[in-house]
Amino acid sequence: MITIIDYGMGNTGSIVNMLKKIGVKARITSDIEEIATAQKIILPGVGHFDRAMERIDKSGLKEILDHKALTEKVPVLGICLGMQLLTMSSEEGECNGLGWIPAKTIRFRFSKESNLKIPHMGWNLVHQSTPSSLTKDFEPEHRFYFVHSYHVQVEDEKYSILKTEHGYLFDSAIQNDNIFGVQFHPEKSHRFGMRLLENFAKL
């Protein structure tokens, strides 16, 4: 059973549907007592960094999430904005992130001459930077669906497990022990996303 955290800013339905396709049970909840029993957690997210952290703080979710991730060491997967929330801070706002992974979230910056678009949207390849159980059996041309204007930059390369190029290389998946984050949307990435979610479910 995977527990998907509902704080009002996540693409929860699509994640549940993809997990059903691979035969994994899931529940969507914001109930602290239910989260306290979670064996694995997915933290989704679509939207603004500060608004997300404010909702997590005001709802009382931060304390139980800290306990599950840092004390109980249950596997946690942050998706898109959920990955960015794992970092220390974001240029999108002023709130502190959860701070579970030594990294920061910064905005894409390109010259006008580059003709590169923000947000980074569509399918793109990922390249393994550090071996991880989350990326086991990935294909050489493994690709995922992205939609984002901000990206994560780790403080130490040991926390980067996948990189992607959009103008320059950025960290598209990160890990600190039991805590994982992916900038892309595995729930929208067909068989490539299925493989990643299967790996997470087996942790």
pLDDT tens digits for 121-136? Answer: 999 999 999 999 999 9
- Alpha-carbon distances of 107 from 7, 41, 100, 163, 178, rounded to whole Å: 24, 27, 20, 16, 26
- Alpha-carbon distances of 178 from 58, 76, 125, 145, rounded to whole Å: 25, 6, 24, 24
Closest CA to 79 of 27, 4, 135: 4
* 192 band by pLDDT with thresholds 50, 70 and 90: very high
Asked about 187 being catalytic, the answer comes back as yes
Domain 2-202 listed as CATH 3.40.50.880 = yes
> Of 148, 151, 166, 185, which is the active-site residue?
185
Which pLDDT score is estimated for 95? 97
Return the H-helix or E-strand segment holding 56: helix 49-58
Overall pTM > 0.75 = yes
> Of 80, 92, 142, 151, which is the active-site residue?
80
* 142 band by pLDDT with thresholds 50, 70 and 90: very high
Given a contact cutoff of 8 angstroms between Cβ atoms, the answer to whether 161 and 135 are in contact is yes
CA torsion 159→196→27→188, rounded to 10°? Answer: 110
Contacts of 67 (CB under 8 A, 6+ apart): 36
Mean pLDDT of 51-79: 97
Q: Return the amino acid letter for 41.
A: I
Return the H-helix or E-strand segment holding 66: helix 61-66
Q: How many residues comprise the chain?
A: 203
Asked about 185 being catalytic, the answer comes back as yes
